[in-house]
Amino acid sequence: MDNAAQQLGNAATTWWGAVLAGFTRTDPLSVPAGILLGIVAAAVVLSIPRVTWRWFGLYVTFVHELGHAFAALMTGRVVHGLKIGLDHSGQLVSSGRRGFSATWSGFWGYPAPAVVGLALVWSVSAGWAGAAASIGALILLLALIFLRNFTGIVVALLSAAVAQSLVMLADAQTVSWAILTLGIALAVGSVRDFFKVAAVHTRRRNQLTSSDAYLLAQSTGVPSFLWLTGFALVIGGSAACSAYFVWGMLAR
């Protein structure tokens, strides 16, 4: 028993040391155009075909729900739990004052993957990819506290396992490439998700109750199309900024 406890303690110490080591600034990537095209192609393959989106979309949904949760915590709301469905549905349960806090939390779902993608791409361009990986690893572990269904727990565990492996086993260069790829993939996935929710308001109106824009309209009286416009501006702006930082990393 004592030996097992010691080994567990050593493993935790090693892990924490790796997390802290990630906060060491490295040289920004210099990305050859050919490799960049390959990364963009990989992001498109993850997000566009249904067969791959079925699985990667679960991670995008996870980030979507974490966006709601983080926005709720920012305004003092209490997060009771979140769920993720295999059909890419999600639900966050929080409590607090009505009004701004509920609206703020409700808005930051669809834009969250694009904003996170921008943060990841920027971190690579600034030499802080290791810090992004370490912060992500910690957030994914903390997120396990809030999961309330089997699918959500599995998605969180797999995401956390990949993040911890990246922090523990990969060198700085590999971490930078992985974070860049994930950042671009999240940007593409966010755009795909936006067109999905926009379609709910045009062609699949029987699914309106699944739309954050519809729910925000019901609670605030502000029309859905204005909320959709807000989503589009944040997602488009984040994608454009990501493209700017990627352009700056292109090998000249």
Residue 219 has a pLDDT of 92
Length of the chain: 252
Q: What is the pLDDT of residues 168-200, one digit of tens each?
A: 889 989 999 999 999 999 999 999 999 999 999
Is the pLDDT at 203 greater than 60? The verdict is yes
- This prediction has a pTM of 0.93
Ranges of each domain in the chain: 2-249
pLDDT of 207 reads 80
What would the pLDDT profile of 119-176 be if each residue is shown by its tens digit? 999 999 999 999 999 999 889 888 989 998 999 889 988 888 888 888 888 998 999 9
What three-state secondary structure class fits 84? strand
Please give the Cα distance from 225 to 229 (Å, whole number): 6
Q: Mind listing the pLDDT tens digit for each residue in 59-72? A: 999 999 999 999 99
